[in-house]
Amino acid sequence: MRAFLASSIGVATAAALALPLALPSTALAHPAATRSSAGAAPAAPAAPAAPAGSTQSLPLVPVGPAADRPTGVPGMSTSPRLPETQGLSAREVKTFSLVGVVWDDANTQLDGRVQVRTRSVATAAWSEWQDVDTHNSEHAADPGTAERGTGRVRGSTAPLWVGQSDGIEVRVQAEPGGRAVSSGLPTGMHIELVDPGDTTRPPSDAKNGGPDATPVAVDDDDKGELALLPGMTMEMAESSSANVPMAPLGAQEIPALNKADSTADAVLADEALAAAPYIGPRPKIVTRLGWGADENLREKGFVYTNTVKAAFVHHTASGNNYACKDAPAVLRSLYRYHVVSSGWRDIGYNFAVDKCGTVYEGRAGGVAKAVLGAHTMGFNTDSMGVAVIGTFTSTAPPKAAVDAVARLTAWKLGLFGADPRAKTTLRSGGGNLYAKGSNVRLNVISGHRDGFATECPGRLLYGQLPPTRTASAKLQGRP
């Protein structure tokens, strides 16, 4: 399989060619296009409007001791002699649901503690102070890559899901004895307040939430007119067509398949496997259209790597305070935070899994393809990233989520001939554990911490990886 970055011209051409005049064409025949797990082909619905999300970016300012903080900030010093503190006093803002802190230089580590408290829209009550995970630089594109070198990438904390809120207070304090004491906190710190938008609202223009998408038709002299679904933009069609013929253009989910039918997906992965490949049954996957991704946010085109030799398991570190019905909104927030706030080309993960075990398409380019992500700095090439939505340092991951990771990896790794119980060799692209260019032996299903010095995916989720490897291999039918 080739590795390339599609040019804007190539993307437009590919998108046009990928939009079939008649999707049930025999040229596109594939088991996934003609049957679902229930035996019926899913119909292509009209494309829903993209949600009108938005981002408020407020600069943090130096603050003094906690004399003006009657409730105090647990764990933070109140002495004016101790390390630098920046923040924002309590204030009313436009509605948001996710928060994070960003700063100018992506190569600068924030050595300190970030805490926020928020005011609920539903109750008008202020929350207790909550910690925001500051170690997020390891979720990023590899050093020296095109995505890393755009000039838009910024340092960032992990995002924190807080639910619908309209008030915010922030404190960031440098860690005593850390590197930040001598150099100060990173420059250009802002609090990012992300509204995921609502799928019932009009489409957005990617930055300010204004209407932008309209029905589009593409004329092709050789192929005739390719009419898009009502409300679908070229960007939405480009993303959706990357999953044809597993699901028709405009599908909100890719249906589950049994093991026998799933073997045909290897053709879509551009892999010529043995006559009896070990490919697990394909799980149902909610598409980007299904969770409401605003395709105007991401960069145009897709970036592919050569193959998928390993899967890195992550947690989003965004907290566990969400209901499964809210998972699409959490994903829209993570996506907007990765692209608008952090400056990445798309959401960093290839897949996400919620606490109920639903699998979601992450970075655009086709779920069966080797799409280059930005999930494990140093090891994004020839790998995939699966993020379980939540924080699992002291909270056990739900069984449904762990089982979903096993099903997903059994299928996707199987497409590329990888044994979930085995080890593989990846070449480091640079990080804090392995020198750039070094060959590193890793488990085919690894935790993020195996490739980068980090707590991710959390101690309790990491502890579930050994049985996940066994379950994934069993689903592939390996002896």
What pLDDT does 35 receive? 33
In the chain, the amino acid numbered 72 is G
Q: Name the residue among 20, 15, 3 with its Cα closest to residue 301.
A: 15
- Euclidean distance between the first and the last CA atom of the chain, given in angstroms as a whole number: 28
What one-character DSSP code corresponds to residue 28?
A: G
Placement of tokens 């697990």 in the chain: 280
Q: Are 406 and 412 in contact (CB under 8 A)?
A: no
What pLDDT does 226 receive? 46
Cα gap 144→91, rounded to integer Å = 40
Cβ neighbours for 310, distance < 8 A, ≥ 6 positions apart: 379, 382, 383, 384, 418, 424, 426, 442, 443, 444, 445, 446
Dig out the tokens for 16 from the structure: 């046009």
Q: Name the residue among 434, 152, 91, 403 with its Cα closest to residue 297.
A: 152
CA torsion 423-352-170-153 (nearest 10°) is 70
pLDDT tens by residue, the chain, 479 residues: 444 344 333 333 333 333 333 333 222 333 333 333 333 334 445 555 556 799 999 999 998 654 344 445 555 554 545 578 999 999 999 999 999 999 999 888 898 999 999 999 999 999 999 999 987 666 778 777 888 878 889 999 999 999 999 999 999 999 876 554 344 799 999 999 999 998 654 333 333 333 333 344 444 444 444 457 787 889 999 999 999 999 999 999 999 999 999 988 988 886 656 555 899 999 999 999 999 999 999 999 999 999 999 999 999 999 999 999 999 999 999 999 999 999 999 999 999 999 999 999 999 999 999 999 999 888 999 999 999 999 999 999 999 999 999 999 999 999 999 999 999 999 988 877 788 889 999 999 999 999 887 889 999 999 999 999 999 999 999 99
Cα gap 194→125, rounded to integer Å = 19
Cα gap 417→277, rounded to integer Å = 7
pTM to 2 decimals?
A: 0.83
Task: Note the CATH architecture for domain 54-195.
Answer: Sandwich (2.60)
pLDDT digits (tens, 9 = 90+) for 416-430: 999 999 999 999 888
Domain ranges of the chain: 8-50+232-476, 54-195
Looking at domain 8-50+232-476, its CATH class is alpha beta
- Asked if 8-50+232-476 and 54-195 have one fold, the answer is no
What pLDDT does 33 receive? 34
pLDDT digits (tens, 9 = 90+) for 242-299: 999 999 999 999 999 999 999 889 888 866 565 558 999 999 999 999 999 999 999 9
